[in-house]
Amino acid sequence: MISNDMEIPTPSITYIKNPLCELFQLTSRKKILPLEAAIVGLSLLLFIILSLSYWGFFQDDAYVILRYAKNLLEGNGLTFNAKERVEGYTELLWTLLVTGGIAFHLPPVGLMKVVSMVFGMLTLVTLWLCARLQIRRPISNAVPSLFLAVSPSFVLWSQGGLGTMLFDFLIVAHFYQLLRYFDNPTRYHLWMTTTFMALAILSRPEAIIYLGVSMLVFLINVWRDRRWMDMILFSGISLMTLIALYGFRLTYYGDFYPNTYYAKVSPDPIQWVHGMKEFGRRFLNTDFNMILLVVPLLLLFRHTLSLGAIWLLISIVTYTIYYLRIGTDLLPMNRLYQPTYAFLYLVSVDVFGEMSVHLQQKISSQTRRIAVTIAIGLICLLYTADLISSTLTMAPYRGKIACSENSLGYIGRWLETHAHPEDKVSVTDVGATSYYAMNLYVIDLLGLTDRTIAHALYENGYNPWLNYLSQQELDHREREDAFNQSVKAYFIGQQPRYIVLQINVKPQNFELMQHYLSNPPVRLDNFLLSHVVQYVPRMLFADTKIISAYHIVLIRAFDPYYAYYLLLERDKEVN
C-alpha cells in the first residue's frame, strides 16, 4: 500500500553548472491541461488547412527523385540516366520510400505530398513532447508546435515533394528520445534515439552535424554518469551507418560526396560572403527572425544548463555556420534551414517563458502579474498572426504544378512522343522534362545529375548558383571562362539533339516579350539570349557555331512567374 502522503520520486535531470549568471531553474512536469491539448490540436488543424492550400506547389527537383525511382523499378539501378551511375539526389531514404510507394501503383505526386504532410504532423506532435521535457511549463509546452505549424517554410515544404518533412521528423524524434534518455537512461530510449539518428543519416547529409552534437553531449553525460557502454553503442551504430552510406556511395557511384555537392558548393572562400549576404536577405528580413537567432545565446546566462539546452544551443549554432558555408539555398523559403526552425521556436519559448516567470515573481501585485501574462499572450498571438500572414502571401507557389505540367511537363511529353530513343536532350531545369521523357538521355546543364559538369564546376572553383543569386555582383568571370572551356568539348561531343532553355522576363517587359514571341518566325537572337537565366553555362552562346546549329521548335509560358521555356532542335552538326 502507498500512503497518500508519500512523495513519489521524479526522474532526475543532469545539469551542467553555468558560471555566467543565475536565473530560474526549470519547473517540474505536470499533467496535460485541456488548454495545452487544445493548442496542439489547433496547431495540427492549422497546419493541415494551410498545407492543403498549397497542394498546387511541387518543386521541379522532386521529379528527379521520381526518375530515379522509376529507373530503379525498371531494373536500371538507382540512376538518372539508365546504367549511368551519378548520385543526383541527396535524400536516399526518401527516394527509397517513394520507390516503394510507386511499386504499389500509388500516384507518385500525391504520394509524396500526403506522406510529407503525415511526417509534418508527426514533427509537430514530437516537438510538443520535446517541449514537455525541455520547457515543462503548462500551455507554453504547446506554443513551439503552434509557431512551427504556421511558419511559411514548414507549410510550403510539406507540399514540395522533397524529403524535408521526413528529415525534420527524424531529427526532432532523435532529440526527443535523447531527452527521454537523459531523463531516464534506459536501453529502450538509447536504442530509439540511435535508430532515429541512423535513419536521419540515410535521409540527408546534414545529419552529420546533429550526430556530432549528440556525440559531444553524450560524452558530457557519460563523463558524469560513467555510462561508457551507452555512448559506445550510440556512436558505434551511428558511425557504422555513416560508413555504410559512404561505402555504398564510393562503390556504386565512385564519389565521396553526392554529385549535387560538387555542382553547388564552391571551394572559393567568397561563398562565405555570399552565404552571409543571402542569409541576411532571406532570414533576417524581419525583427522576429532576428530575435529568434539571438535568443539561443541567452541560454548562456542560465545558472545551470540541462543537457537538452546544451544540445539545442550547439546544434543551432553549428547548423547556421554550415548554412552560411554552403551559400544558403536557391530553393524558396530557406528550405535547407528548415530543420533549425523547430529548435529555434523551442528555445525561444523556453527562454521567454522563464523570463516571464522570473518577472512575475518579482511583481508583488496580482493585477500586474495578470497584465504581464496577457501581454505575453498577445505577443504570441501577434507573432502567430504574422506567420500566418507570411504563409498566405506565398500565393504564386500554389499553381506551380500546373505551371510545370504546362511547360516543362509538356515539353517532356512532346520529346517522349517525337524524339528518337537515341536522341539526347540538354536541359537547365532537369526535373519534369526528364521525368516525362524517361526514354531519352538527359544532360543536366547545371550539373546536378551530370558528373562531368559538376566536377568541372568544383575543380574550377566556379559556382553558377552563386553568380545567379548575387546578380553578378561577385566577379567570377575568369573561373566561369575556365569552366566553359573545360565543358565545351564535352558538350560538343555529346551532340544533344535538343536543348531546353529558360528565359526570365521582368514583369514590366512581359507584354513586350509576349508580343515578340507571338510573331513567327521566332529566332534565337540577342534579344532572347539577353533574357536567358544567368546560371546557364555561357559556353552555349560564347561560340556562335554552337547556338547557330539550333532553331526554336517549341515555346511554353511558365505563368505566373514571368518566364518561358524554349525547346531548341539541332538542324546541323556542331564542330
* pLDDT at position 328: 64
DSSP string spanning 428-469?
SS-HHHHHHTTTSEEEETTSSS-HHHHHHHHHTT--HHHHHH
Q: What are phi and psi of 84, to 5 degrees?
A: -110, 110
Q: What is the pLDDT along the chain (575 residues), one digit of tens a residue?
A: 444 444 444 444 444 443 333 222 333 355 778 888 999 999 999 999 999 999 989 999 999 999 999 999 999 999 999 989 999 999 999 999 999 999 999 999 999 999 999 999 999 999 999 999 988 777 789 999 999 999 988 999 999 999 999 999 999 999 999 999 998 889 999 999 999 999 999 999 999 999 999 999 998 887 777 778 888 999 999 999 999 999 999 999 999 999 999 888 877 777 777 777 777 766 666 556 667 777 777 776 666 778 888 999 999 999 989 988 887 677 777 888 888 999 999 998 888 777 777 776 777 667 766 776 777 778 778 888 878 887 777 777 777 787 888 889 999 999 999 999 999 999 988 999 999 999 999 999 888 999 999 998 888 877 766 655 554 454 566 777 778 788 888 888 888 999 998 888 877 778 888 888 888 778 787 788 777 766 666 667 666 677 788 889 999 888 777 788 989 998 867 66
Question: Nearest Cα to 120, choosing from 93, 89, 90, 160?
Answer: 160
Order of strands across the sheet that contains 441-444 = 441-444, 424-427, 498-504, 563-570, 550-557
What values do phi and psi take at 106, rounded to 5? -85, 145
DSSP type of residue 218: H
Within 8 A by CB and 6+ apart from 216, the residues are: 314
Cell of 572: 546541323
- Report the C-alpha gap between 76 and 85 in whole angstroms: 10
The pLDDT, as a whole number, for residue 17 is: 42
Q: Which three cell numbers, joined as nine digits, stand for 532?
A: 536567358
> What DSSP state is assigned to residue 501?
E
- Report whether 309 contacts 134 (CB < 8 A): yes
Task: Using the Cα atoms of residue 365, residue 371, residue 376 and residue 377 in order, give the sign of their dihedral.
Answer: positive
Q: What are the residue ranges of helices labelled H in 363-409?
A: 366-392, 400-404
**3-state SS, residue 500:** strand
Q: Are 497 and 569 spatial neighbours (Cβ–Cβ below 8 Å)?
A: yes
Rounded distance between C-alpha atoms, residue 19 and residue 465, angstroms: 45
Q: Which three cell numbers stand for residue 353?
A: 517563458
Q: How far apart are CA 154 and CA 162, in angstroms?
A: 12
**DSSP-derived pairing of the beta strands 441-444 and 424-427:** parallel
**What are the two backbone dihedrals, phi and then psi, of residue 330, each rounded to the nearest 5 degrees?**
-75, -30
H or E stretch at 209: helix 207-225
Distance CA(319)–CA(293), nearest Å, equals: 12
Residue 442 CA to residue 415 CA, distance in Å, equals 11
Q: Of 107, 244, 116, which Cα lies nearest the Cα of 168?
A: 116
Q: Would you list the domain boundaries of the chain?
A: 15-393, 398-570
- What secondary structure does DSSP assign to 113-126, as a single string? HHHHHHHHHHHHHH
3-class SS at 18?
Answer: coil
Rounded Cα gap, residues 396 and 53, in angstroms: 12
Give pLDDT, residue 535: 61
* pLDDT given at position 188: 92
Rg (CA), the chain: 26
The letter for the amino acid at 539 is M
Residues in the chain: 575
Listing DSSP states for 257-319 in one string gives S-HHHHHH--S-THHHHHHHHHHHHHTTTSHHHHHHHHGGGGGGGSSEEEHHHHHHHHHHHHH
3-state secondary structure of 418: helix
The answer to whether 431 and 64 have CB atoms below 8 angstroms apart is yes
| Separation between Cα atoms, residue 357 and residue 137, nearest integer Å | 10
How far apart are the C-alpha atoms of 220 and 215, rounded to whole Å?
A: 9
Separation between Cα atoms, residue 177 and residue 43, nearest integer Å = 22
pLDDT at 30: 54
CA distances from 19 to 22, 213, 301, 351 (A): 8, 22, 8, 18
Q: Which helix (DSSP H) or strand (DSSP E) does residue 355 occupy?
A: helix 338-362
Which amino acid belongs to residue 64?
V
